[in-house]
Amino acid sequence: MAEYAFRGRLISVRVLPTSRGPREVVEHPGAVAVLVLDRAGRVLLVQQERPAAGRELWEIPAGKLEPGESPEEAARRELREETGLAVENLVPLGAIYPTPGYSNELIHLFLAQGVTGEPRPASEISQVRFFSKRDLAELARVGAGDGKTLAALALLELSRAPH
C-alpha cells in the first residue's frame, strides 16, 4: 500500500512499493506549455525565477493544470496570464514526461496559431522576448533554458519532417 510522505500545494510525494524496494514518486497535477513563433520563426520565451534551479530561466509560457481544466483551456489561460497574448488556435504537439524517474508530471505541448496582442510580462515574469533558434541553443548550452522548450521545438520539427 502506498503512503504519502508529503502533501503540498503543488506536489505530493508518495512512497510506492516496488520489486526493488520503496520508491518515492512526486505527484503533480500536470502542466501545459505553449510554443509561439513569430513570422521570422523566432520563439517567444518568458524569463522567470526558478528557485529549484537557483536562477532565472528562459522558457516557453507554461503552467500547471487547475482542477477540472482541460489542457487547451490551461494553455490559453497561461499564455494570457504570462504574456498578455490571446490565441485563436492551439495545435497539440504532443505530451512529455519531463522526469519520469521520480515524477508523474505530464506536460501537454501546444503550438499557438493566430496570436493577438503585444507581449508583456506578468507579475512573476521578468521579461518576454523572441529568440532565434541559435540563441535557444546557446541558452541550453549555458543552462539558462529548459527541457519543455526544447521538446516543443523538437516535436514541431518532427511533425514537419517528411515521412
Active-site pick, 49, 124, 138, 157: 124
What domains are defined for the chain? Answer: 31-95+106-160 (3.90.79.10)
Predicted TM-score of the model (pTM) = 0.94
- Cβ atoms of 36 and 76 within 8 Å: the answer is no
- Cβ atoms of 47 and 125 within 8 Å: the answer is yes
Write the CB contacts of 5 (distance below 8 Å, at least 6 apart in sequence): 13, 14, 15, 24
The torsion region of residue 29 among left (phi > 0), alpha (psi -120 to 50) and beta comes to alpha
Please say if 118 is a catalytic residue: no
CA distance 9 to 59: 23
pLDDT (tens place) for every residue of the chain, 163 residues total: 679 999 999 999 999 999 999 999 999 999 999 999 999 999 999 999 999 999 999 999 999 999 999 999 999 999 999 999 999 999 999 999 999 999 999 999 999 999 999 999 888 899 999 999 999 999 999 999 999 999 999 999 999 888 7
